[in-house]
Amino acid sequence: MNFLRALIYYLLLVVIVVPYWVLVMCVAPLPRIPRWKIVAGWPRLAAWLAIYLLGIRYEVRGRENIPAEPVVILSKHSSAWETLAYSEIFPPHVYVMKRELMWLPFLGWGLALFSPIFINRTDRMNALRRTIELGKERLAQGFSIMIYPEGTRIAVGKHGEYKLGGAYIAVQTGARVLPVAHNAGLLWPRNSFLKYPGKVTVVIGAPIASAGQTPKQLMRKVEDWIEGQVEILVRAKRENNAA
């Protein structure tokens, strides 16, 4: 049953992506924020379909912690689910992405209109410089910056290295940091075709001021909070499943 649900889900996304891409191309001349809201309709639709086709519901704890001003959002990344649902959960935000995604037919072209920060991961120094420069620009334009500090999807129970790019942006601009944890990888595992019904819990922490801190100090606070929350969420989920 899970296989059939996943198959129908992906087939629907394939059918939808081309006409939605046409719509996205039509709104390309719009200012960045209105354009973002229209482009974000596709991941929101994908997250909605996940509820009704895959049975993956979600709850958000700490939504009141999202400030009115743009911030640097630092999130755990264990699934593809969060890249879809975050478009509904958070105000306009842009991602720091590897530039290879821009070359994907339809999807990459649509992403380019999302005002992302594309970087070349093989050139780490220039990637960091570009992230800081464009991060300042996007914050000034009214976007928050969404960064997965571990750089890639990490399997549930694993702990990757937290890179400092997001903390550098926050320190350089004075923006606050918003830490986010979740347990989506238990239901939508990385690199897995199969998805499992259940409820994802997203926890948004209180904003952390960057003033007076080094990037390393700031990221350590973020890492400790995120990993602590993920451990609580995963343990609770597994205990509920075992009960």
Give pLDDT, residue 243: 61
Looking at residue 27, which CATH number applies to its domain?
3.40.1130
> Reduced to 3 states, what is the DSSP secondary structure of residue 118?
strand
DSSP string, 16-68: HHHHHHHHHHHTTTS-HHHHHHHHTHHHHHHHHHIIIII-EEEEEE-GGG--S
Distance between CA atoms of 36 and 52, rounded to whole angstroms? 25
* Boundaries of domain holding 149: 2-242
Give pLDDT, residue 88: 96
Give pLDDT, residue 188: 96
Give pLDDT, residue 124: 76
Model confidence over 132-143: pLDDT tens digits? 899 999 999 999
Domain count across the chain: 1
Residue 178 in tokens = 């918003």
Q: Report the b/e string of 1-29 with b at 16+ CB within 10 A.
A: eeeebbeebeeebeeebeebbeebeeeee
Distance between CA atoms of 65 and 77, rounded to whole angstroms? 20
Walk along the chain (243 residues) and give the pLDDT tens digit of each residue: 899 999 999 999 989 988 888 888 898 899 999 999 999 999 999 999 999 999 999 999 999 999 999 999 999 999 999 999 999 999 999 998 888 877 777 777 777 888 888 888 777 778 888 888 999 999 999 999 999 999 889 998 889 999 998 999 999 999 999 999 999 999 999 989 999 999 999 999 999 999 999 999 999 999 999 999 999 999 887 777 766
Whether 145 contacts 93, CB under 8 Å: yes
Residue 23 in tokens = 């719509």
Residue 190: CB atoms within 10 Å: 17
Distance between CA atoms of 230 and 75, rounded to whole angstroms? 11
Whether 94 contacts 113, CB under 8 Å: no
Whether 105 contacts 177, CB under 8 Å: no
Distance between CA atoms of 93 and 228, rounded to whole angstroms? 25
Give pLDDT, residue 183: 96
Rg, the chain, Cα only: 18
Closest CA relative to residue 211, chosen from 179, 180, 167, 149: 167
Residue 124: CB atoms within 10 Å: 12
pTM comes to: 0.93
